Amino acid sequence: MLTLAGIIVFLYAVSSILGLWLASQVTKVLEGEGPIPEALAETPQHHLDLMANYAMGWRASAWRTSIGALVTSLVALAFSSSLAFWALGLALAIDCILFMTCRDIRLILYKTTAMERLVDAAQCVALLASFTLFFWLTLTGALA
């Protein structure tokens, strides 16, 4: 179970890092520093709006902090440290704040497809299950 939770956190960290890179590319395009990359050419506008929102101002720093906390959680998990629980909790809290403070979030959510929302819901359930497992293992002393 712990290995599965670690894999889920690892995949989320990788997707966050890739998302940050894509968001930086979107920001460059919006600032007029070049053409839109091929990878983003067919991306729906609401995805681009969400990435641009996350990549500007204090949100960009918060996003980087969240990714740092995810990596810290993985390293702590490798050493069976309870820091894995606390770092994952910090990363998820930052991600929630970023989502809740997103500009035009209702419009962005309105434009998402049912499949996108289903994938997001599955991701949330998997991350909460991992967090719950880390919490339980911290309480029982398995993560010291």
Count of H helices and E strands in the chain?
Answer: 6, 0
pLDDT at 61: 92
pLDDT digits (tens, 9 = 90+) for 54-72: 888 899 899 999 999 999 9
pLDDT digits (tens, 9 = 90+) for 12-30: 999 999 888 888 888 887 7
**pTM summary value:** 0.84
DSSP annotation of 36 reads P
pLDDT of 114 strictly over 80: yes
List C-alpha distances in Å: 29 to 4, 43, 93, 96, 114: 38, 13, 29, 26, 28
Q: Which domain holds residue 24?
A: 2-140
pLDDT (average), residues 99-126: 89
pLDDT at 62: 93
pLDDT at 36: 75
CB atoms within 10 A of CB 113: 9
**pLDDT confidence band for 81 (50 / 70 / 90):** very high
Number of domains in the chain: 1
**pLDDT confidence band for 37 (50 / 70 / 90):** confident
pLDDT at 107: 87
